[in-house]
């Protein structure tokens, strides 16, 4: 069967736009991170929750796009389409990380100058598959699943959720899916409240894989459930209001401080379990009235995934610069941070047009 025949459903343009808004906030989070002393005082304090928002968006879109197509599509056909969508940028993101790797040598990563080229290339090739790199191949020293491009960890869990959906959860009734979502919401709240936040999931050990799975299962399958149960309304200015909500949630300062970590955990639980589904409902219900708003949503949606995959290789240079110049303040750093943000957006758009779209088009023909 030609799987291209399935690609006929219209997009939710506002949800595309929200993905772009969240991706830009992720970049600002990673640019603010090295200027902080720890989790408590990062300027973009809850920027990491964008990943949980991405998972929820992904579950919603997967349910909308594929739930009613399984009578025309095999599991293999589903995975071909997901690989075609996700892997080209994974390969490019890991390649960019490899190109910049030795140029980011800094005392913050004392291992870099000791790593032989063959080992770096092996890590890159494993990265191309998005399978986690074992700790024995931690060539940067941050215990990341993907030392050449840190954000790869969330793509690994995205694939885990896609596999679970395809091999079984897609067959769940609304009731069964609701039970799964309720149990995973309790697990998520427990993680957030006991740890003080949900940050984590990027290291290949038992504790961190548990964090990654917990962060993935609730939002992804809550998004899937949402796609099955909501009846979108007609809401005006939905892109504006939902974008503001995303920004407020992700830019909210840390709550409770070091003395009351549980308070921040409650905040994050409420955001992921209640506020994020509300935002997706708003976005799915929104009506775009002008061509300008439509173009903005399309642009943000188009660059969101490339931006997520290409920004961190640039951030490594920025982190090394801050570490090599102790005492850098936000006043001194912000022009460079802004330059990297703008550069990452330009790079994302260039890779979209000159690499991602052409490669996906080629893959679509080969995998059809």
Contact 31, 21 (CB under 8 A): no
Number of residues in the chain? 368
Instruction: Supply 84's token pair.
Output: 């075609």
Q: What is the mean pLDDT of the chain?
A: 95
Q: What is the CA radius of gyration of the chain?
A: 20
Reduced to 3 states (helix: H, G, I; strand: E, B; else coil), residue 148 is coil
Q: How far apart are CA 349 and CA 344, in angstroms?
A: 9
Backbone angles phi, psi at 109, to 5 degrees: -125, 75
Say how many C-beta atoms besides its own lie within 10 A of residue 210's C-beta.
14
- pLDDT confidence band for 347 (50 / 70 / 90): very high
Q: What is the pLDDT of residues 25-39, one digit of tens each?
A: 999 999 999 999 888
Domain count, the chain: 1
Contact 31, 341 (CB under 8 A): yes
347 is in which domain, residue-wise?
3-367
Could you tell me how far CA 299 lies from the centroid of its own chain? 18
Contact 73, 6 (CB under 8 A): yes
Taking alpha carbons only, the member of 308, 241, 248 closest to residue 279 is 241
- pLDDT confidence band for 261 (50 / 70 / 90): very high
Q: How far apart are CA 18 and CA 278, in angstroms?
A: 13
CB under 8 A, 24+ apart: contacts of 289-296: 289/236, 293/239, 294/13, 296/17, 296/239
Q: What is the pLDDT of residues 278-315, one digit of tens each?
A: 999 999 999 898 999 999 999 999 999 999 999 999 99
Residue 39's contacts (CB-CB under 8 Å, 6 or more residues apart) are: 45, 196, 197, 199, 254
Cross-strand pairs, 235: 286
Reduced to 3 states (helix: H, G, I; strand: E, B; else coil), residue 328 is coil
The pLDDT value recorded for residue 1 is 37
The pLDDT value recorded for residue 8 is 56
Taking alpha carbons only, the member of 212, 216, 120, 123 closest to residue 165 is 216
Say how many C-beta atoms besides its own lie within 10 A of residue 70's C-beta.
14
């Amino acid at each position: 069967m030609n799987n291209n025949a399935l690609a006929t459903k219209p997009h939710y343009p506002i949800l595309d736009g929200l993905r772009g808004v969240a991706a830009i906030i992720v970049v600002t989070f990673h640019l603010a991170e090295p200027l902080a002393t720890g989790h408590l005082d990062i300027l973009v304090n809850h920027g990491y929750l964008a990943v949980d928002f991405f998972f929820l968006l992904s579950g919603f879109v997967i349910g909308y796009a594929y739930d009613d197509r399984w009578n025309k599509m095999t599991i293999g056909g589903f995975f071909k389409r997901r690989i075609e969508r996700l892997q080209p940028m994974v390969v490019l993101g890991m390649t960019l990380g490899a190109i910049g790797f030795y140029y980011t040598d800094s005392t913050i990563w004392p291992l870099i100058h000791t790593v032989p080229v063959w080992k770096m290339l092996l890590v890159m090739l494993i990265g191309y598959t998005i399978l986690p790199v074992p700790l024995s191949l931690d060539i940067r020293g941050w215990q990341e699943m993907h030392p050449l491009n840190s954000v790869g960890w969330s793509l690994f869990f995205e694939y885990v959720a896609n596999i679970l959906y395809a091999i079984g959860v897609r067959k769940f009734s609304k009731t069964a899916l609701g039970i799964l979502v309720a149990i995973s919401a309790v697990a998520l709240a427990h993680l957030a409240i006991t740890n003080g936040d949900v940050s984590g999931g990027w290291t290949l050990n038992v504790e961190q894989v548990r964090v990654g799975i917990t962060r993935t299962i609730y939002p992804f399958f809550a998004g899937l459930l949402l796609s099955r149960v909501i009846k979108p309304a007609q809401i005006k200015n939905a892109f504006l209001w939902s974008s503001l909500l995303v920004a407020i949630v992700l830019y909210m300062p840390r709550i409770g401080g070091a003395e009351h970590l549980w308070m921040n955990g409650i905040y994050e639980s409420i955001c992921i379990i209640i506020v994020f589904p509300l935002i997706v409902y708003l976005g799915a219900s929104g009506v775009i009235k002008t061509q300008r708003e439509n173009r903005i949503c399309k642009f943000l949606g188009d660059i969101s995934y490339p931006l997520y995959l290409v920004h961190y290789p640039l951030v490594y240079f920025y982190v090394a610069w801050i570490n090599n110049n102790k005492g850098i303040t936000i006043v001194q750093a912000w022009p460079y941070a802004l330059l990297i943000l703008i550069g990452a957006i330009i790079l994302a758009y260039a890779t979209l047009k000159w690499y991602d779209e052409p490669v996906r088009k080629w893959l679509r023909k080969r995998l059809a």
